[in-house]
Structure 1
């Protein structure tokens, strides 16, 4: 996934580094110095936060931390493993040893290169998040004895949520050694997306970690609402959107429609949805004409990018030659569907006499696109979503601001905020977008 803002994301997140000598197996290098700095600030956060949330003091990890060079045959194995190569490309919490290990050769350097230093922080905060829910009473024994009550996907969501709560403390300036900017956070969330389950994995799978939508949602919930919300997660109050393929054809094509077929199918469905939305609220809906024959859409006002709603003509113009087909191919068909849905969101606001310019209009358009997506999710008949479609929505919104532009081309620059607005609509419906 291409994420804008990489120069800022590539900047260091450390105010001052921490000596990694307390890490077992460390080589003392830059990667382990970053990891040591991250886990030091995460531990400090939980020393301050654990008792107010859970009513008892924080107990530090008795087994400590392990850095492993998975490429070395001579490297000593970490807890819960028999040889160093078993850690390749991974970081994990070992409950039996109460320890955390990471691969300093094939994981952390890759995360830094692709997503920036903040990705390393999020991954290690997630692993300590597992230590948190174990200390809070959701451990291996509970998972083994009550698998339906404590499935893996739930504890993974808890760990993502706890990571989000910690990162919020960093962005608020509450960490001694770390700092994370908005651009760095946007880039780092790409790492969370990359760790999603393979498309089509059932949420009941014993090893399920969640799709991108579920994982980013959990992280954002922790970031926005804090660790108490994370601690209260249950299978009854947490909605997971991960689904399996329901047909052979859908599985065979990876859940993706051909570009022009997708445009026709989703446009017709969007028209039905927004027609009802507008008329139920006393407005008059005129079906937009969707044009896809121009490489660079153009209408009145400033450039909206490759998808544009033109209020004066009621048209929606979409670059069906270069950029949107590229995203369709690179990310998936619901990247196209999501971008188109945001323009219908602007059209709905225009039909009801609401502003279509400014940040509020752009956020509402994103929210309404999410509200539409929420109604499509789980359909058994007609146009519906494939297992990977929500992930595609997250990816295109996190990586690109096209769907978050008002009619004059002014955009919501934060990928985090773009996904948050879409998610509010997907989970809360039109009422969450001010269309009660």
Structure 2
């Protein structure tokens, strides 16, 4: 099966996905930013095994709009060939307790329990099937209705792949590339949903954040090698593939090839693996500060600016005369009374909570963004407002891409970029200017700004600022 989204076992608020077939399997976080309801729901009687539930009515609307969209779009990709309809869709209750007529005999499944906690596209049967009693309700609760759209449009993307494959290249393509392309096709479709250009589906920007939350949750376990036969991409890879489609066109996705660069990596040492790639809060701060000073100081000096190492103050993240932590739990404060500027870190509260819940590079992203603010000041660039926040966040992305190179004494672990995008989807402190104004109001835009630095380096962040 291609594109299976893992079998989920619900434990309190977390979902753990385990491999049920040779298809997709991802660890699901479950802690996400929920999107708004999607205005959707049509008669699901064309779905095999449906029980007429709200989940199947939503799935029916998604599938009909997918059929219509790809029916119109596919000929431009295929040299004029029409899009052959899929052979069927199957709604499955893995327990069999509420089996409806037609629920048995799902192609590619020996028994209904094989679909538990997952959705998949089966190329041999040319069908899409899903767990309606576990997966779809869980997606709606944790991420919003748009999560169902992104899951089903991803699976539909695999059917597009197969119909465009005239040379048999899919048989030897890396799984991680096939999944990235399907994520890209899902991004293309969600853009049309957001734009209101489809008959049955509507969502806003918060819904797109909810869809991205699902993608971040459905990621490979940290430390999975990109060469693993079942590798599907870390959160950063999945989100960026989705954004390529959302900001691009179907041709963008179809053109994805083996030259695509993935950030997913395996653990480099047994020690890193045993810790899950995470340092404690204070050890992380102690390890990062010298490297941040080295890298950002180099960026400023290379461009003719003035750099003085900021002092560090582990207390309230409030600048002199300030009335609160407007920058969040980590703040850059301008020099005063002849002393250096400072990085103020409030190690209690949200910083400690997110460090423990998301991972150490949630903290690292905030530290890097505030050093980015210091670099902007050293170059005479704005530090306030959306422009200041955008420049600081972009520079944090540039630093994250450069960590571990040159004379760096600090390196990223396999899950660190996942922690960065999770933090950016959750809240906006890493994107704030010194006056507390964020660079963007959505997680999607914050991740895009961060990614601009990852892809383009400091020059991309400083151009036009």
Aligned to 1:21, the other structure's residue is in SS state coil
Superposed CA offset, 1:136-192 (max 9, x none): 1178x4333xx3xx1000010000000001111111121111111111111221110
Does the CA contact (< 8 Å) of 1:23 and 1:66 recur in 2?
A: yes
CA distance, structure 1, for counterparts of residue 286 and residue 354 of structure 2: 17
Which residue of the partner structure matches residue 13 of structure 1?
38
Superposed CA offset, 1:17-56 (max 9, x none): 2210000110011000000101111111111211223323
Which residue of the partner structure matches residue 349 of structure 2?
322
Which residue of the partner structure matches residue 228 of structure 1?
251
1:167 aligns with 2:194: no
Aligned residue among 309, 329, 345 for 1:306 = 329
Which residue of the partner structure matches residue 104 of structure 2?
76
Aligned residue among 391, 394, 397 for 2:424 = 397
Aligned to 2:315, the other structure's residue is in SS state strand
Which residue of the partner structure matches residue 287 of structure 1?
309
Higher helix share: 1
Superposed CA offset, 1:107-143 (max 9, x none): 000000000000000000000011111111178x433
- The 1:93–1:376 alpha-carbon spacing in structure 2 relative to 1, beyond 3 Å, is same
Does the CA contact (< 8 Å) of 1:378 and 1:385 recur in 2?
A: no
Aligned residue among 60, 70, 73 for 1:49 = 73
CA distance, structure 2, for counterparts of residue 380 and residue 120 of structure 1: 45
Deviation of residue 363 (structure 1)? 1.3
Which residue of the partner structure matches residue 55 of structure 2?
31
CA distance, structure 2, for counterparts of residue 92 and residue 377 of structure 1: 38
Does the CA contact (< 8 Å) of 1:366 and 1:422 recur in 2?
A: yes
Q: Which moved more, 1:243-252 or 1:381-390?
A: 381-390
Q: Which moved more, 1:370-379 or 1:400-409?
A: 370-379
Aligned to 2:343, the other structure's residue is in SS state strand
Q: Normalising to structure 2: TM-score of the pair? A: 0.87
Aligned to 2:419, the other structure's residue is in SS state helix
Segments of structure 2 that go 5 or more residues without pairing to the other structure are 1-29
Aligned to 1:40, the other structure's residue is in SS state helix
Which residue of the partner structure matches residue 22 of structure 1?
46
- The 1:186–1:270 alpha-carbon spacing in structure 2 relative to 1, beyond 3 Å, is same
Aligned residue among 157, 163, 169 for 2:180 = 157
CA distance, structure 1, for counterparts of residue 180 and residue 320 of structure 2: 43
Which residue of the partner structure matches residue 241 of structure 2?
218
Aligned residue among 437, 444, 447 for 1:410 = 437
Which residue of the partner structure matches residue 391 of structure 2?
364
Matches within 5 A, 1:133-282: 133-137=161-165, 141-144=168-171, 147=172, 150-236=173-259, 238-282=260-304
Q: How many residues align?
A: 424
CA distance, structure 1, for counterparts of residue 410 and residue 400 of structure 2: 11
CA distance, structure 1, for counterparts of residue 297 and residue 181 of structure 2: 39
Superposed CA offset, 1:54-74 (max 9, x none): 323342433211100112165
1:373 aligns with 2:394: no
CA distance, structure 2, for counterparts of residue 22 and residue 402 of structure 1: 46
Segments of structure 1 that go 5 or more residues without pairing to the other structure are none
Superposed CA offset, 1:328-351 (max 9, x none): 100111111011101111111111
Which runs of structure 1 show a deviation greater than 6 angstroms over 4 or more consecutive aligned residues? 378-381
CA distance, structure 1, for counterparts of residue 407 and residue 251 of structure 2: 36
- The 1:380–1:160 alpha-carbon spacing in structure 2 relative to 1, beyond 3 Å, is farther
Which residue of the partner structure matches residue 90 of structure 1?
118
Deviation of residue 217 (structure 1)? 0.3
Does the CA contact (< 8 Å) of 2:404 and 2:410 recur in 1?
A: no
Does the CA contact (< 8 Å) of 2:116 and 2:134 recur in 1?
A: yes
- The 1:293–1:366 alpha-carbon spacing in structure 2 relative to 1, beyond 3 Å, is same
Deviation of residue 426 (structure 1)? 0.7
Deviation of residue 380 (structure 1)? 10
CA distance, structure 1, for counterparts of residue 165 and residue 148 of structure 2: 27
CA distance, structure 1, for counterparts of residue 223 and residue 249 of structure 2: 30
Does the CA contact (< 8 Å) of 2:377 and 2:383 recur in 1?
A: yes
Q: Normalising to structure 1: TM-score of the pair? A: 0.93
- The 1:380–1:72 alpha-carbon spacing in structure 2 relative to 1, beyond 3 Å, is farther
CA distance, structure 1, for counterparts of residue 217 and residue 321 of structure 2: 38
Aligned to 1:430, the other structure's residue is in SS state helix
Superposed CA offset, 1:208-265 (max 9, x none): 11000000000000001121111111111x1100000010100011100111010011
Aligned to 1:373, the other structure's residue is in SS state helix
